[in-house]
Amino acid sequence: MAIPTEPIGSIPRPAQLIGAGQDLAAGRITAQAYGELAEAAVRETIAELEATGSPVITDGEQGKPSFATYPLAGLAALASDGVVIRFADGHTRQLPRLTAGPFRYTRNPLYVALTLVYLGIALAAAMAWPVATLVPALVVIRYRVIAREEAYLERKFGDAYRDYKGRVRRWL
């Protein structure tokens, strides 16, 4: 039984474009030169998809900075010095670093938001026991959950995460 499929989304980048991305990151080529190579890769990808008779034609995300973050590319709230991801074939992708939004004020915006929602519901319901148990719950979260998360992040991202910890408070 045949299962029909169509390629949609990312297409592996050609070796020349991967090398050009490394050259761009190292300052050996200009952004314009990289852009020209990316455009050529897009044209090649489109031509190859058309040659297969595919009803879906995509640019294969060849010219996008990162498959994970291209919808965010160009936003003012991003800096280019984020985490580098290394792939098995040797190429890398550098994710942008957020410079605005909740992570600018707290390393744990989800915990802060959940704490405020929990407290708001407890107060709105005029229930004392949830308020009384909040502090012990936060202590457990701090030492059993956040401590593990931060240790993992320090191991994974090293000085970049330690620098972030030095700039941004854990809670508020």
Written as tens digits, the pLDDT of the chain (172 aa) is 777 777 677 788 888 998 898 898 789 999 899 999 999 999 999 999 899 888 888 888 887 766 667 667 777 887 777 778 788 887 777 777 777 888 889 999 999 999 999 999 999 999 999 999 999 999 999 999 999 999 999 998 888 889 989 999 999 8
Rg of the Cα trace of the chain?
A: 23
Q: What is the pTM of this model?
A: 0.55
Backbone torsions φ then ψ of 168, nearest 5 degrees: -125, 135
Q: What is the pLDDT of residue 67?
A: 64
Cα 156–chain centre separation: 14
- Mean pLDDT (the chain) is 86
CB 117 within 8 A of CB 141: no
Close Cβ partners of 139 (under 8 Å, ≥ 6 residues apart): none
CB 111 within 8 A of CB 117: no
pLDDT tens digits for range 16-49:
998 898 898 789 999 899 999 999 999 999 999 8
Q: How many CB atoms lie within 10 A of CB 105?
A: 13
Strand-pairing partners, residue 84, are 94
